[in-house]
Amino acid sequence: MIKPLGHLLGGLLVLMAGNAFAQATASNSGDHQSSKFAPFQIFDRAEFVQSASLLPPDSDANWVPVELPDSWQVQNRPRDKIGWYRLRFTHHGTAHSGSDSGQQAIYISRITNNIEVFLNGSSFATSGRLGPQPEESWNLAQYHFVPFSLMRDGSNELLIRLHPDGYARAGLSKVYLGDSADLREIYNRRYFIQTKAPQLITGVLVVMSIFSLTVWLRRRNETMLLLFGLMAAVAVVRLFHHYFRDTPLWLAAMAVPAVLWLTVLQTSFVLHYCNRSQPRLERGLVIYALGGSAMLLVAAVTDLFSEATQVIYASLAILTPILGGIIIYQLSREPSRGNILMMVATLLNAAFGIHDFLNYQELLGYDRLYLLPLGLPLLLLAVAALLARRFVETLNDYETLNTSLSERIVGRERELAASFARERELDQQRATADERQKLMRDMHDGLGSHLMSTLALLKRGSLQQSEVESLLTDCIDELKLTIDSLEPVERDLAVVLGNLRYRLEPRLNAAGISLEWAVTDLPPLDYLDPENVRSVLRIVQEAFTNTLKHANASRITLSTGTDRAANRVWVRVTDDGQHFDIEKAKGGRGLANMKSRAARMQGEIEVVALKGGGTCVSLFLPIQKTKPTVDGLFQLLS
């Protein structure tokens, strides 16, 4: 286990170095830059003004030039006002290129705490919930698509409204603008190291802590198991805020004391592992951790938490090298691969801690990554490697017993497999019957209703040939839609839309309407069964039908995107025709049916009349459906 752990340490360092290199290789840009659809650009300068208003400032406001990254702490700005950053650039090219490579995006590596982004006066992105109870976005990189419709050929103005939300380290990093695919790669690297990796590591640490403490409860004389389990548990408390956008106050107040206790537990573990216990030193460290924790808790109540944190980090910056020297000295007295691994992890952990202290003081810049969330688990993994050897030796003693037990398990597995096979066959039969009933009901209410009404009108002789053709075309579309909903889509919404494109594009071409396809990869939707596929197809088809019948449009754009912060994906149908009369539509059944179908999937419909003409119909669907509440069930039934 020690050798693979060494590979893990090296791989993580290479990953962090690659991420730093990716951020450092971008070229500097000016305040007013040139934009094309292929490359991306970086804004390292902007114009800044503070205001108490949520509306964009006038062009003649007191704008001052600033360099990005921009730290409010360094500039000593007040935190009771919001800040506006203005970035200007020139765009050459056609905004509606009709290709995936033309999709523009904006990427920002760090903000504190929330932003709203405007292009040419129109808002198109927010980092999270704004207002009196804002979400925490300080540790989340930002990546948002830039709507084609907002980009102008020529001069453009990008405004970023920054909400400090009371954070002392308010600020804005460099801003990236360009091709969405290129920026997605940079964003994914940053998101993994800054957010996803600590979350995954926290889950591993939870398992490690539970396992160690459980074993210790059975074997109370194993002090090292107790210390290791406590180290893992404290590390979880330290890293747990990576799971929250609304961190509870008590959890935020415990994050800094957790660093103190990790220092104490790590030192005690190494001393016990080397059989060099020093009770006086260990008691002194416990008193230090208790005093620091009490000071931080009192400071949290008296609004002095930031100052107390500075004191604790300063003391750790002094104490960590001393304790690190003691640990390395004890481990070096009996050299072994396990001890060397522990020394490397200790040195890395100490270096990461000093790095984060300097980073917190903004002595290394504003948008540097915090490394201690990665260093703490490395140390615990090194400790786990030392304990694993003893665990493996114990397992070898039970090898003979496991052989006979395995034979019994194999027999039991055969019985269970046969039982599961029978149960699976019954489940498949029930699922087939349920789907057949849903399909028959859907065809009766949809296609059957269309045919019956057409037949009744034909018998009366009140239909013209063109009206008959239109009604029969609707019937055929309804039948094709039902067939498409039965196609295997593997929970992929893009495949569903691709099938619809194949059906509708000839009809659009015949009507003289061009279709722009801006569908991107979307996360899988587990609830995308045939019934929900039919609902999605009907909603999108209804939007297309309204454009064909009423908008007198020449172009329709079908686009998709993902808003992970809001746990949803979106599908947009945008045309350049006449405005959609929303008030008039409220009296009809089309829009109401669209909203009803979306609500059954816990989704929403939004219809917006665009400036300069055209309509945008947006369907928002959750990535993961939530369990409905009692109020939500009543709303759905109504």
Tell me, yes or no, whether 293 and 345 share the same domain.
yes
Res. 502: pLDDT tops 60: yes
Res. 230: pLDDT tops 70: yes
In a domain, 619, yes or no: yes
pLDDT band, very low/low/confident/very high, at 342 (cuts 50, 70, 90): confident
| Mean pLDDT value of segment 315-344 | 78
Tell me, yes or no, whether 473 and 503 share the same domain.
no
What is the separation of C-alpha 615 from the centre of its chain, rounded to a whole number of angstroms? 29
Res. 53: pLDDT tops 60: yes
Tell me, yes or no, whether 496 and 472 share the same domain.
no
Sign (positive/negative) of CA torsion 171, 174, 179, 181?
Answer: negative
- Residue 462, φ and ψ in degrees, nearest 5: -105, 10
- pLDDT of the residue at 383: 73
Tell me, yes or no, whether 359 and 437 share the same domain.
no
In a domain, 598, yes or no: yes
333-342, 435-444, 523-532, range with the lowest pLDDT: 435-444
Span 117-172, pLDDT tens digits: 999 999 999 998 888 888 888 888 999 999 989 999 899 999 999 999 877 789 99
- pLDDT of the residue at 618: 93
Compute CA distances 193 → 41, 106, 345, 373, 487, whole Å.
Answer: 23, 19, 18, 10, 38
pLDDT > 70 fraction of the chain, expressed in percent and rounded: 78
Span 467-483, pLDDT tens digits: 666 666 666 666 666 66
- pLDDT of the residue at 574: 92
Instruction: Report the number of secondary-structure helices (H) and strands (E) in the chain.
Output: 18, 19
Domain finish residue from 486, 521, 536? 486
Compute CA distances 245 → 111, 130, 168, 250, 347, whole Å.
Answer: 14, 12, 18, 14, 32
In a domain, 497, yes or no: yes
597: containing domain: 492-638
| Mean pLDDT value of segment 413-426 | 82
Give the helix/strand (H/E) hosting 19: helix 2-24
- pLDDT of the residue at 138: 82
Higher per-residue pLDDT: 460 or 511: 511
Residue 603, exposed/middle/buried by CB under 10 A (0-12, 13-18, 19+)? buried
In a domain, 136, yes or no: yes
Tell me, yes or no, whether 240 and 165 share the same domain.
no
Could you tell me the pTM of the whole model? 0.53
- Residue 219, φ and ψ in degrees, nearest 5: -130, 85
pLDDT band, very low/low/confident/very high, at 453 (cuts 50, 70, 90): low
Beta strands in 314-450 (DSSP E): none
Res. 35: pLDDT tops 90: no
- pLDDT of the residue at 19: 44
- pLDDT of the residue at 333: 78
- pLDDT of the residue at 398: 73
- pLDDT of the residue at 424: 79
Tell me, yes or no, whether 377 and 230 share the same domain.
yes
pLDDT band, very low/low/confident/very high, at 13 (cuts 50, 70, 90): very low
Higher per-residue pLDDT: 465 or 248: 248
46-50, 213-217, 221-225, 514-518, range with the lowest pLDDT: 221-225
In a domain, 212, yes or no: no
Tell me, yes or no, whether 496 and 599 share the same domain.
yes
Domain finish residue from 458, 486, 514? 486
- Residue 486, φ and ψ in degrees, nearest 5: -90, -10
Res. 582: pLDDT tops 50: yes
Tell me, yes or no, whether 594 and 477 share the same domain.
no
In a domain, 137, yes or no: yes
- pLDDT of the residue at 25: 39
What is the number of domains present in the chain? 4
| Mean pLDDT value of segment 586-606 | 83
Span 253-269, pLDDT tens digits: 787 888 888 888 878 88
Compute CA distances 597 → 91, 272, 391, 504, 605, whole Å.
Answer: 40, 63, 56, 21, 9
In a domain, 23, yes or no: no
Tell me, yes or no, whether 482 and 385 share the same domain.
no
How many whole angstroms separate alpha carbon 266 and alpha carbon 273?
Answer: 11
- pLDDT of the residue at 476: 67
Give the helix/strand (H/E) hosting 298: helix 279-301
Higher per-residue pLDDT: 327 or 69: 69
How many whole angstroms separate alpha carbon 427 and alpha carbon 432?
Answer: 9
- pLDDT of the residue at 495: 82
How many whole angstroms separate alpha carbon 422 and alpha carbon 269?
Answer: 53
- pLDDT of the residue at 256: 81
Tell me, yes or no, whether 142 and 263 share the same domain.
no
**Tokens 């929900």 identify what position?**
532
| Mean pLDDT value of segment 438-467 | 60
Q: What is the largest CA-CA distance in the chain?
A: 103
In a domain, 196, yes or no: no
Higher per-residue pLDDT: 308 or 466: 308
Res. 601: pLDDT tops 80: yes
- pLDDT of the residue at 120: 94
What is the separation of C-alpha 340 from the centre of its chain, rounded to a whole number of angstroms? 37
- pLDDT of the residue at 456: 60
Tell me, yes or no, whether 301 and 252 share the same domain.
yes
Tell me, yes or no, whether 360 and 267 share the same domain.
yes
| Mean pLDDT value of segment 275-289 | 85
Q: What size, in residues, is the chain?
A: 638
Res. 11: pLDDT tops 50: no
CATH number of the domain that residue 103 is part of: 2.60.120.260
Question: What is the residue-averaged pLDDT of the chain?
Answer: 78
| Mean pLDDT value of segment 22-46 | 56
CATH number of the domain that residue 605 is part of: 3.30.565.10
7-11, 160-164, 529-533, range with the lowest pLDDT: 7-11
Span 377-391, pLDDT tens digits: 677 777 777 777 666
pLDDT band, very low/low/confident/very high, at 562 (cuts 50, 70, 90): very high
